[in-house]
Amino acid sequence: MAILKIARMGNPVLLRRAEDVPHPTAPEIAALVADMIETMDDARGRGLAAPQVHVSKRVMVFRPPTDDGDDPEADEDGVLALVNPEVEYLSNEVVDGWEGCLSVPGMRGMVPRFTRIRYRGITPAGRPIDRTVDGFHARVFQHEFDHLDGILYPQRMTDLSLLMFDTEVAKFMEEYGADEDEIAEAEAAD
Ligand code: NI
């Protein structure tokens, strides 16, 4: 396993549609996923997409957020890896939330995301995934999935005055009456 170099905003690999993976269970995909998980954890991210490590393939890893304990589809370390994922937006409703991205280091932004989605994909072990999720889980998926289509979260923002350095988020939110939990959540968003 290895910690990979993370591409940062402006790198062309982050701006193009990643390629479908013809053989999701190929050993090189399993090796890529293992390296991506190590890289994500080293950088303290919640998710990572292959283009972020300079590999233009439709592969993503993330830790599905849960309210209570373990995610049923994640592995024993709480990570779900998906190859060739697909998404369907089940609601026109969007909700704003703070996001950060390992490819946009040191920043946070308020991003509108669909509240409810269905996603499908296959794990590197060949297990099909098909689930309907909402809330923060839906947000994390949409963020990582966007990377596969060459989209970074600032491109989804509707109010760029809410794009800021992470060191300013707490001050900003205090000004608007946010409580400690809300501030901690915003600061943790990567
Ligand atoms: Ni990201």
Ligand 1 geometric centre to CA of 102 (Å): 6
Distance 151 CA to ligand 1 centre (A): 9
Average pLDDT over residues 11-36: 98
Q: Could you identify the residue written with the tokens 């937006």?
A: 89
Q: What pLDDT is attached to residue 173?
A: 85
- Could you give the residue numbers annotated as active site? 144
The SS3 call for residue 183 is: helix
Indicate the pairing of strand 94-101 with strand 116-122: unpaired
Rounded Cα–Cα distance for residues 141 and 63 (Å): 9
In this structure, the number of other CB atoms found within 10 A of the CB of residue 87 comes to 18
pLDDT of residue 116: 97
Task: Indicate if the pLDDT at residue 70 is higher than 90.
Answer: no
CA 37 to ligand 1 center in whole angstroms: 14
pLDDT at 62 over 80: yes
At 107, is the pLDDT very low, low, confident or very high (cuts 50, 70, 90)?
Answer: very high
Quote the pTM value.
Answer: 0.94
Ligand 1: distance of its center to the CA of 92 in Å? 23
Q: Check residue 163 and give its pLDDT.
A: 97
Write down the pLDDT at residue 67.
Answer: 79
C-beta neighbour count of 61 within 10 angstroms: 27
Percent of the chain scoring above 90 in pLDDT: 83
Mean pLDDT on 148-157 = 98
Provide the token pair at 51.
Answer: 């283009």
Instruction: Using pLDDT thresholds of 50, 70 and 90, give the confidence band for residue 145.
Output: very high
pLDDT at position 18 is 98
CB-based contact 187:169 (threshold 8 Å): yes
Q: What is the per-residue pLDDT for 39?
A: 98
pLDDT in tens, 164-190: 999 998 888 888 888 888 777 777 766
Q: Per-residue pLDDT tens for 123-139?
A: 999 999 999 999 999 99
Region 60-80: what's the mean pLDDT?
Answer: 91
- Residue 1: its pLDDT value, please? 80
Q: How far is the CA of 149 from the centre of ligand 1 (A)?
A: 12
